[in-house]
Amino acid sequence: MIRILTLARVVWLDVLRRKDFYILLILLAILLVALLSMNVFGLGGVTAYVADIGLLLSWIFSWVLAISIGCRLLPQEESRGTIFSLLAKPVRRSELIVGKWLGAWSVVSVATAMFYVLVFGVTMLKGWTLPIGVALEAIVLHGMVIAIIIAAALMFSARLNSDAAATLTGALTATSFLLVPRIPEFVAEAGGVRGGLMLFLYNLLPHFEIFDLRMRVLHNYGTISLTTFLMITAYGLLVTAIFLALAWVAYRSKHFARGSLSGY
């Protein structure tokens, strides 16, 4: 466990050195200020509209941050040659995977929480009433999505370079965000083989839509039940564990040669 926490700490130090999420936080602040200064539909700064845009940007920024950090963790160790010293300590490859995931998940989750605080803070200053209970649930479940994305990034980067891993992770997660919730509509129209293929994808890909509580926050629909919350959390942990297990399977048989990025 000490080795896992040490690896997570190294990820934190690397992210802070690169100043990744500081840039996104500044960008979010600029966009929020710009939105608050707009005369939306001639009614002045409509805080619910601003909150909606701000929460959407928080999802987009955390998605970009999770992919960019998660996909470079393993390849950069290989390109720097530090993978040899890590594995010689010795650090088991399962510990390496979990430690990198823990560090990336925690740093992106903290950045995402800062995004939420900024959105809520600016809109509350303009008179918006924050439903605290469902807002906390939204932040926690958003953290589960981040866990899945980073686990997927590690799975792809276990065998691919960072650019290829980022492309595949982006494609997988974007499909899960945008396409999966609409598959039942397509199945009703397609039928036959196409319908069966869509149902297969519907059951195979992660369901990120169940973690998205933005509408409940914006319209103050109230918190979800504890049973539902725990079921969604359990689903997120299961998907994360599957991706991490696949990352370990892909990485445990990978061989490294000095003088090259990696070998098989």
Residue 263 domain-assigned (yes or no): no
72 in a domain, yes or no? yes
Q: Quick check: is 261 in a domain?
A: no
pLDDT reported for residue 258: 59
- Amino acid 37: pLDDT: 72
Residue 78 lies inside a defined structural domain of this protein: yes
**pLDDT per position as a tens digit, 189-200:** 666 777 778 777
Per-residue pLDDT, 257: 59
The dihedral formed by the CA atoms of 43, 45, 50 and 53, expressed in degrees to the nearest 10: 70
Residue 45 lies in a domain: yes
* Mean pLDDT, range 196-214, rounded to an integer: 85
What are the tens digits of pLDDT across the range 133-188? 999 999 999 999 999 999 999 999 988 888 999 999 999 999 888 888 887 777 76
Q: What is the mean pLDDT of the chain?
A: 83
Residue 261: its pLDDT value, please?
47
Q: Is residue 225 one of the residues assigned to a domain?
A: yes
Task: Please tell me the pTM assigned to this model.
Answer: 0.87
Please write the tens of the pLDDT for every residue from 7-63: 888 888 888 887 777 777 787 787 777 766 765 555 444 677 778 888 898 899 899
Is residue 111 scored above 80 in pLDDT? Answer: yes
- Answer whether 87's CB lies under 8 Å from 133's CB: no
Q: Which domain holds residue 99?
A: 2-252
Is residue 49 assigned to a domain?
A: yes
Residue 183 structure tokens:
């598959």
Question: For the chain, how many structural domains are there in total?
Answer: 1
Q: Let me know: does 183 contact 202? Beta carbons within 8 Å.
A: yes
Complete DSSP assignment for 46-112: -HHHHHHHHHHHHHHHHHHHHHHHHTTHHHHHHHHTHHHHHHTTT--HHHHHHHHHHHHHHHHHHHH
Asked if the structure places residue 44 within a domain, the reply is: yes
228-251 mean pLDDT:
94
Instruction: Tally helices (H) and strands (E) across the chain.
Output: 12, 0
Region 66-80: mean pLDDT is: 86
Sign (positive or negative) of CA dihedral 59, 61, 64, 70? negative
Q: Which of 65, 54, 169, 162 is nearest to 108 (CA)?
A: 65
The conformation of residue 43, written as its DSSP 8-state character, comes to S
Predicted confidence band of residue 264 (pLDDT cuts 50, 70, 90): very low
